[in-house]
Amino acid sequence: MISKKYRTAFTAAVIVPGLMLGACSKKDDEAVSSTTEGGAAAVAGSITISGSSTVEPITALVAETFMADNDSVEISVDGPGTGDGFKLFCEGETDISNASRPIKAEEAEACEAAGVEFIELKVAIDGLSVIAPESNTLECLSFADLYALIGPESEGFSNWTDAQALATELGSDTTFPDQNLVITAPGTESGTYDSFVELVIEKAGEARIEAGKITEDEVAAARADYSASPDDNAIIEGVATDPGGLGWVGFAFADQADGVRLMPIAAEAGGDCVEPTAETIQDGSYPIARDLFIYVNKAKAEENASLSGFVDFYLDGLDGFVEEADYVPLKDGADTVTVWADRMVGTREG
Run of H or E residues at 130: strand 118-133
Residue 295 Ramachandran class (φ > 0 left, ψ -120 to 50 alpha, else beta): beta
**The pLDDT of residue 70:** 73
Our count of domains for the chain comes to: 2
Burial annotation 257-287 (CB, 10 A radius, 16+ → b, else e): beebbbbbbbbebeeeebebbbebbbeeebb
Instruction: Determine, yes or no, domain membership for 347.
Output: no
Question: Is 350 inside any structural domain?
Answer: no
Cα separation, 99 vs 34, in Å, equals 35
Question: What pLDDT was estimated at residue 45?
Answer: 80
**Phi, psi (rounded to 5 degrees) for 298:** -60, -45
**Same domain for 160 and 41:** no
* 306 in the same domain as 275: no
Distance, CA of 281 to CA of 279 (rounded, Å): 5
In a domain, 349, yes or no: no
- Minimal CA–CA distance to 96: which of 78, 70, 112, 72? 78
pLDDT of residue 58: 97
Whether 99 is in a domain gets the answer yes
Q: Are 98 and 85 in contact (CB under 8 A)?
A: yes
SS3 state at 244: coil
145 lies in the same domain as 168: yes
Measure the CA angle with vertex 289, ends 274 and 321; round to 5°: 115
DSSP H or E segment with residue 227: strand 227-228
Do 80 and 230 meet the contact criterion of CB atoms below 8 Å apart? yes
**Within this chain, do residues 114 and 176 fall inside the same structural domain, yes or no?**
no
How far apart CA 158 and CA 137 sit, in angstroms, is 19
Q: Write out pLDDT tens, residues 248-299.
A: 999 988 998 999 999 999 999 999 999 999 999 999 999 999 999 999 999 9
- 145 and 281, same structural domain? yes
Contacts of 71 (CB under 8 A, 6+ apart): 11, 12, 13
| C-alpha–C-alpha distance, residues 84 and 89, integer Å | 9
- Residue 148 sits in the same domain as residue 282: yes
Q: Domain containing 211: what range?
A: 127-289
pLDDT < 50 stretches in the chain? 1-41
Exposed (0-12), middle (13-18) or buried (19+): which is 118, by Cβ within 10 Å? buried
| Tens-place pLDDT, residues 74-91 | 899 999 999 999 999 999
pTM, two decimals, is: 0.80
Q: Choose among 302, 319, 311: nearest CA to 14.
A: 311
Amino acid found at 312 = D
Report the distance separating Cα 31 and Cα 9, nearest Å.
18
* Closest to 56 (Cα-Cα) out of 300, 327, 345: 327
- The residues facing 180 across adjacent strands are 159
Select from 248, 249, 300, 253 the least CA-distant residue to 97: 300
Query: Cβ neighbours of residue 8 under 8 Å, at least 6 residues apart?
Result: 76, 77
251, 269, 289 - which closes a domain: 289
Q: Indicate if 197 and 238 belong to the same structural domain.
A: yes
CATH number at residue 319: 3.40.190.10
Q: Are residues 104 and 143 in the same domain?
A: no
In angstroms, the Cα distances linking 158 to 168, 202, 294, 314 are 18, 22, 38, 45
